[in-house]
Amino acid sequence: MKPLIKKLTETFSPSGYENAIREVIIEEIKDFADEIRVDALGNLIARKGSGGKKIMLAAHMDEIGIMVNHVDENGFARFSSLGGVFPQTLVGSRVKFVNGTSGVIGAHFLKRPVRLVMNNKMYVDTGATSPKNSPIQVGDVAGFERPFLDLGKRLVAKSMDDRIGVAVLIETLRELKSTPHEVYFVFTVQEEVGVRGATTSAYGVNPDIGIALDVTGADDVPEIDTKTIFLGKGPTFKFKDAGSLGDPRVIELFIKTARKNKIPYQREVATMGGTDARAIQLTHAGVPVMTLSVPCRYVHSPSEMVDYGDVQNTVKLLTKFLEKKVEL
């Protein structure tokens, strides 16, 4: 899966500009799905199988980024965030705009940490010297520019959130030879700015069960006393986050599947953050949901790290789950 993960993470598609990554995904899945369509908001929906439960799997295609809101008289571009961008990770970062322009993020160095939106102290330097020769303008969007890094067991990239979930869905679609269900592999847009793609796509699919595929913050690093989520110990089953509650019946089905197939897993209660599960859960008259997550260090930074074994085990778990009939 490593070449696939590299291709996905190095494709630039911030929220609202998912065209490039959608084309990459279509090329990867076109020979494995029974039906492929794109809805009005840009969600990519691939169906496999018919009959049984209607199961929706959702992984978001978009990544965090920035949007230009002003170019000053010296050519420096001020910007606002697209999604949860942390200021402390930005200074010195390189960005790439949808139009192909590259730049570096600079800042007025202050003794106290800067707040990205509130005091507007950061800027993108594209080498321009005035608005007239600036290659970017108000409304232009960029993602972070970092190459995929293969450390063997650990993989690092700028958009593991949530291209690793996308990779899991692609590989699961390839591995799933048959299923008694009608499974919808949904690659959603605009998750980072408010789970918007999942809201519309779930309404269209109207599933019996919804499963969001995403990353979750691993806390197995120095200076954190209470460590709960570890790289290398398997995917997590999310019981709760800021946006949704995992349905106990769905979680129990995944626990039984993991135990039967000797797949490691972790139990998770998140105090912050949310996933596409929230939008799916509130669709029509309501949908039982769960979030299946790949542990990730340094989430929402230009260098996010996952464990390759966790990724492979997530594919195995999801494939085994979809091969069998389920009853709630």
- What pLDDT, on the 0 to 100 scale, is given for residue 223? 83
pLDDT at 144: 92
| pLDDT score, position 199 | 96
Domain for residue 197, yes or no?
Answer: yes
On whether both 301 and 212 belong to a single domain, the answer is: yes
Tokens found for residue 78: 């001020």
| pLDDT tens string 30-51 | 999 999 999 999 999 999 999 8
As a whole number of Å, the CA-based R_g of the chain is: 20
Element at 104 (helix H, strand E): strand 102-107
Which among 18, 191, 192, 268 is annotated as catalytic?
A: 191
Q: Which domain holds residue 98?
A: 65-144
Asked if the structure places residue 115 within a domain, the reply is yes
Q: Are the beta carbons of 9 and 163 closer than 8 angstroms? A: yes
282 inside domain: yes
The confidence score (pLDDT) of residue 43 equals: 98
- Cα(170)–Cα(307) distance, rounded to whole angstroms? 18
Mark whether 252 is an active-site residue: no
**Cα–Cα distance, 27 to 25 (Å, whole number):** 5
Clarify whether residues 178 and 229 are in a common domain.
yes
The answer to whether the beta carbons of residues 200 and 41 sit under 8 Å apart is yes
Query: Has residue 151 been placed in a domain?
Result: no
Q: Note the pLDDT of residue 118.
A: 39
- Closest by CA to 85, choosing from 298, 300, 259, is 300
Token pair for 112: 């106290």
* Domains of the chain: total: 2
In a domain, 149, yes or no: no
Shared domain for 195 and 279, answered yes or no, is yes
Domain shared by 268 and 289, yes or no: yes
- Residue 153 maps to a domain: no
Considering the domain architecture, whether residues 233 and 309 belong to the same structural domain is answered as: yes
168 belongs to a structural domain: yes
Please report, for the domain that includes residue 249, its CATH number. Answer: 3.40.630.10
Listed as ranges, residues in the chain with pLDDT below 50 are: 116-119
What CATH number does the domain containing 71 carry? Answer: 2.40.30.40
The answer to whether residue 170 sits within a structural domain is yes
Out of 116, 144, 172, a domain closes at 144
Q: Are residues 188 and 276 in the same domain?
A: yes
- Per-residue pLDDT, 155: 98
Do 74 and 136 lie in a common domain? yes
Tell me what pLDDT residue 139 has. Answer: 95
- Torsion, CA 164, CA 42, CA 170, CA 214, rounded to 10: 30
Residue where a domain stops, chosen among 144, 173, 194: 144
Write down the pLDDT at residue 119: 47
Domain boundary among 99, 122, 144: 144
pTM: 0.94
Q: Based on the domain organization, do 131 and 167 belong to the same domain?
A: no
Residue 167 and residue 228 in one domain? yes
Question: Based on the domain organization, do 251 and 108 belong to the same domain?
Answer: no
Q: What is the pLDDT of residue 273?
A: 84
pLDDT of the residue at 151: 97
